Structure 1
């Protein structure tokens, strides 16, 4: 029986969660399993400050190390996009996991603080190589009409792993910090073995090499660079919007707890809000994606960004529990409605030779926003108090408008939005776009 069913109008209905899983290639399932295993032991960022202070370093030294970790993560996604295009998504993932396993274990034995900072920078950067590679591989392996749903599955693996990881980490840290980091090294090594064994290898047979040489002689290969991504001005606008979105979004980790405490509310409310967000995302994102995956991409972007603006506008009214709950529900809805499509979007529009860089560029912008956002949010809160939420709402409105201008319809073969051949033109970077959009 076909995996797609027709609705009453005769159009194809988008496949559901279990149907998509059954039709997902084995290699993509292996990738998702590897991501989940590695995230179950993602301890380093969570326990880095405690680990360093336990080793006798000061709180400020531990804080600097955490900042270096964040800088490495931003750098790593950019390099990972380049590696994915230059080598292959499989190679980038194997390098990322094998390399970070060695670097994580090395932290146990390094005593000299500058070397610790260098190791933290390297382990953070190398550990992030896999992220654009993983999304590129998912795009490559997944039929276009199932890409958003499989991306939602990827997000679920990440979210479930990072939700459980602190609990496992606390139990291991009670025994030994050495055991904690050895467990993380083993987990990422397991992901590396999965990638090495299960992910598709480039065809290096003599016949394939001859065919490639013949094709290159007739049509020389295009060598992509990050500057080619920036020449796609609409995608660059979208990345600016995504950066602003990240700056605002991360305020739930920075300005929100400060605002709740300053308003005289129990910090228990902060814990309850974050728990509510995690539960809703884990239980509802896949269900929501079943319906959202058929929406036009610009509608998803406008809906997702607007919900964040509405959420923080609720906080601007007052820090009473009713507004805290409503505000958190709004930006949580943004996650379950918008995140899978937005993270799948670069792979939808990127030319094949730039796919890793498109994905890496967007993830880098999100990382930059997530790094700048807490600093900006705390600084604003210290100077203007609760009015920080008005400013965050305004920034999100700007991001919404810029994003809507920058985003465009995907024209990947097999999607509902694919224009007819006569209506397709190419952008300067080779991206197929609908001139009517």
Structure 2
């Protein structure tokens, strides 16, 4: 019993109630966000769209997501985290209902782009709110739990989507809208506004701090670039690996087993990660984790049977699990308090960018290089691993500077009270 209590304290103990309501809203949001997983199938099977047209509509959803990420960051710093989360969730629910009853393909395309916007808006606000309410020494736990909830929710969404799509596409969209409203209800009833407008870090230039601050912050952008390389590696599992497995004569069910194994490992083991990595510097953990991902994908250069694919999946999934908490925490630590959500929005742009680059360049690489493609992917991972070691000291100096500035402002505010 004491061992179980110690494990709970190490993985999730001591976090404020507001975090758990945010966490619950995120879990409900992810578990219910399943309609867009079947958008291309819905368009071709129920609306008579060609595969090419369906691809364009899905692309509109992705483009809307990129815009929504930036918009969500700006609004979360201006309106507040709670207002942005509620606006995004309510908007998503309404748009899902509109999609359920829309028949014209042009209308569906416009609605899909708008859904992309509102689906991406909450990400910066969720993370900024977590940073607002969770003390710094417990943020690694919080971000670890956030990553776990995201993956658990996506696993549930994938299962529910398949069942609902076979029963009724109308039900697929309406149930999605219902779960989105449920998440909005949790946020509306239990999550207060977490943005503290009193604390400001002075601008180091004559310009007013804004989105451009994040886009010109060299230390932060180096970190974003390294995260982009990590995201390109991660995207291999859903873009290029299925093609490689098909070329090796493996059935789609084999690909499903590899993906399911990764998800099962994350759900079963992610809560043990904070205690494992706590003694080490974040840069070291990120270097090791990215190196493991490089090794896992590099092994695919000689993989042609399912057991080797499964073994490689274990290696790169462990790398992903180790990377998630420090990656999120560094991103939070590098952001000035009044720009937390804007910094998050720039950070989250790495994922739609990687989702474009990974299949576009990866397909060409696989076609021309064959199995040597995986050696290129492994080399990219090693570059990112080395980059984290080299960039770690400058990140740590920046974080110390920001902490000192915030502490000075808090002391000045306390003196005025």
Provide the secondary structure at the position in 2 that maps to 1:107.
helix
2 CA distance for matches of 1:408 and 1:129?
Answer: 32
1:73 to 45, 65, 87: 65
2 CA distance for matches of 1:331 and 1:254?
Answer: 15
Alignment of 1:237-386 (within 5 A): 237-386=222-371
1:354-413 CA distances to partner (integer Å, 9 max, x unpaired)?
1111111111112211222122212221222111111111222222233333345877xx
Q: Which residue of 1 aligns with 2:16?
A: 25
Provide the secondary structure at the position in 2 that maps to 1:350.
coil
Residue 202 (structure 1) shift = 6.2
1:48 to 39, 55, 59: 39
Alignment of 1:212-223 (within 5 A): 223=208
Q: Which residue of 1 aligns with 2:386?
A: 401
Q: Which residue of 1 aligns with 2:214?
A: 229
1:25-55 CA distances to partner (integer Å, 9 max, x unpaired)?
1111111111111212111221101211212
8 Å CA contact 1:223–1:353 kept in 2: the answer is: no
2:183 to 181, 191, 194: 191
1 CA distance for matches of 2:393 and 2:186?
Answer: 35
2 CA distance for matches of 1:18 and 1:200?
Answer: 25
2 CA distance for matches of 1:277 and 1:20?
Answer: 20
Residue 20 (structure 1) shift = 5.5
Unaligned runs of 5+ in 2: 1-5, 408-417
8 Å CA contact 2:300–2:374 kept in 1: the answer is: yes
1 CA distance for matches of 2:73 and 2:392?
Answer: 20
Residue 296 (structure 1) shift = 0.9
Higher alpha-carbon deviation: 278-287 or 229-238: 229-238
Q: Which residue of 1 aligns with 2:377?
A: 392
Higher alpha-carbon deviation: 36-45 or 169-178: 169-178
8 Å CA contact 2:11–2:275 kept in 1: the answer is: no
Unaligned runs of 5+ in 1: 1-14, 412-416, 433-437
Alignment of 1:418-437 (within 5 A): 424-425=400-401
Provide TM-score, normalisation by structure 1. 0.84
Q: Which has the larger share of helix?
A: 2
Q: How many residues align?
A: 398
Provide the secondary structure at the position in 1 that maps to 2:272.
helix
1:270-300 CA distances to partner (integer Å, 9 max, x unpaired)?
2221111111111011112222144211011
1 CA distance for matches of 2:361 and 2:203?
Answer: 47
Residue 343 (structure 1) shift = 1.8
Q: Which residue of 2 aligns with 1:83?
A: 75
Q: Which residue of 2 aligns with 1:34?
A: 25
1 CA distance for matches of 2:249 and 2:83?
Answer: 52
1 CA distance for matches of 2:289 and 2:345?
Answer: 21
2 CA distance for matches of 1:32 and 1:105?
Answer: 25
1:57-88 CA distances to partner (integer Å, 9 max, x unpaired)?
22221121112222222221121111111121
2 CA distance for matches of 1:71 and 1:431?
Answer: 36
2 CA distance for matches of 1:47 and 1:353?
Answer: 38
2 CA distance for matches of 1:249 and 1:202?
Answer: 32
